[in-house]
Chain A
Amino acid sequence: MKQEFKIISNFIEKNTRVLDVGCGDGTLMQHLKQNKEIDIRGIEISKNNIQKCFAKGLTVIEGDAEKDLIQFPDASFDCVILSQTLQAFLNPETVIKELLRVGKKAIVTVPNFGFWKVRLHLLTKGTMPITKNLPDEWYNTPNLHMCTIKDFYKFCHERDIKLNKALALHNEKTSSINELNLNIKNLSAELGIFLIGK
């Protein structure tokens, strides 16, 4: 299983209500459902993925996170998950706001555009970086708003969003991110995992 999912799973408490935004084919939901006693829902834009979720017995709603989170009342979930999708939204700032309205907490994971391989690729080749976490070409990538771990970290501070936990992930190894090591983690990690709240 993806290390990212393991960490997300550790962030989630038993007997809680969880929403997976952009749940894809339901892999994470299924994992959480099997390992945690939680009430989990998903919202997903792809019809094909939704069918895969139903085949796994998962409760999923077809919808676009940028438009359809509005249907959920305030604080209707204990935790809302957004796994590697933030960069694909037209307006990530609004989505984050919505996540924190619908959920008491949110787990956001961000592919780090500040990772040294990404930087090196751009520096040496001069073309848009392609890595394990960023596999698409510039012309067909769904990613509209790439950011770095540092960008997201700063964003949370500027918006008074509480960073309950900030972890850096590289080669299946995790370490915490803090003010002091931020520049190093921003260089060495492929993925940032953040547990945020209001």
Chain B
Amino acid sequence: MNKNLNTKKILIEKPLKLDCGQTINNFPLAYETYGNLNDKKDNAILVFHALTGDQFVSGKNPLTNKDGWWSYAVGPGKAIDTEKYFVICANVIGGCMGSFGPSNLNPDTNKIYGTNFPVITINDMVNAQYNLLNFFKIEKLFAVMGGSMGGMQVLQFVSNFPNKAKVAIPIACTSNHSAQNIALNELGRQSIMADVNWLNGDYSNQNKNPNKGLSVARMAAHITYLSKNGLQEKFGRKLQERDDLKFSFDADFQIESYLRHQGSVFVDRFDANSYLYITRAMDYFDLIKEHGGNLSKAFAKTKTKFLVISFTSDWLYPTTENKEIVIALNAIGADVGFVEIESDKGHDSFLLNVPEFLNTLKDYINNSYLKN
């Protein structure tokens, strides 16, 4: 993993009972903050990251030297204005950016955990991050928000802690993974496991890296984050630095070259075992089942105000699945707003410069804060 990464961490001493039955304690949770917590401590926003995200929401990511994953939305003067709000984001447990994960050293064996790391769930991730409230002495967050797996954490957070956030904004997500979602994640996992260097997850202890498998997993997943129209418009059948087909298996087409690039840069920043663990957590997520088949029950005790946002071209977490959350909230008379944003950028729309989305977010957040 990224051993030289310089990041803030809290050590969580309190034992955390995981869904798999194991209990962990004295584990690190890496986080980053933006803006300042005001005296009333009523301006804190907890942002949850998606599958391959991390705590570096805005500014420069110190590992990749690129902009933080939600730079379009978070920063001074942006939709989530860090001159007004105190933004906290933590790396999920199971991750590889400083939080407790499979690339950590197991003190009992003095070896890297690998697949001996306990299987974690979205619920575990959220419970671990809840410790941040104590750490910052925040009684109630102004908002919790996130897209994709971040959105799942938003739903789980409100369900677990009904009175700890005033506003919740789950974006482009679902209350449980569809068969298609699970299938796509399994494709990624199998491609990692098929790499000879994966070594049943023990690669780090043997100084190997399943880069090819992880890279293919990323390439496949990346396609699911885009839309057919978006891909067609950007790449079409354009050729990569050549005038004609080469009658070989090189990257003739720009889309091939683009995907290979996405795969190759990903392996530099992500741990293959983390990819297995986090995708598993997403597949296991089922807030409906957790509440006896009735999603409304997950939110029965909450007064949190919701805004659900989906995107027209998102086929990974389509509008219908986001709407199920809205319906469940309406069934109990919760305060819920919903909008489907027009965009051809697919699931990734929430990470990109989609002005209608960013304006909606900004208006909603600022208005909700005003009514404090």
Contact = CB atoms under 8 A, between A and B. Distances in A.
A57 B341 contact: no
A46 to B, nearest CB: 10
A54 B326 contact: no
Contacts of A54: 307, 337, 339, 360, 363-364, 367
Given A61-B336, A61-B338, A71-B331, 13 more contacts: A41-B335, A47-B339, A47-B342, A50-B360, A54-B337, A54-B360, A55-B367, A57-B370, A59-B305, A59-B335, A60-B339, A61-B330, A76-B330
Contact of A51 (B331, B359, B370): B359
Contacts, number: 56
Interface in B329-372: 330-331, 333, 335-342, 356, 359-360, 363-364, 367-368, 370-371
A72 interface: yes
A51 B363 contact: yes
B265 interface: no
A56, A61, A72, A76 interface centre (most CB from chain B within 10 Å): A61
Contacts of B331: 71-73
Contacts of B323: 71
A37 interface: no
A47 B364 CA distance: 14
A39 B342 CA distance: 29
B363 A71 contact: no
A151 interface: no
Contacts of A50: 339, 360
A60 B337 contact: yes
Nearest to B367: A57
Interface string A35-56: 0000101000001001100111
A17 B333 contact: yes
B356 A47 contact: yes
Nearest to B330: A71
Contacts of B363: 51, 54-55
A47 B337 CA distance: 12
A51 B339 contact: yes
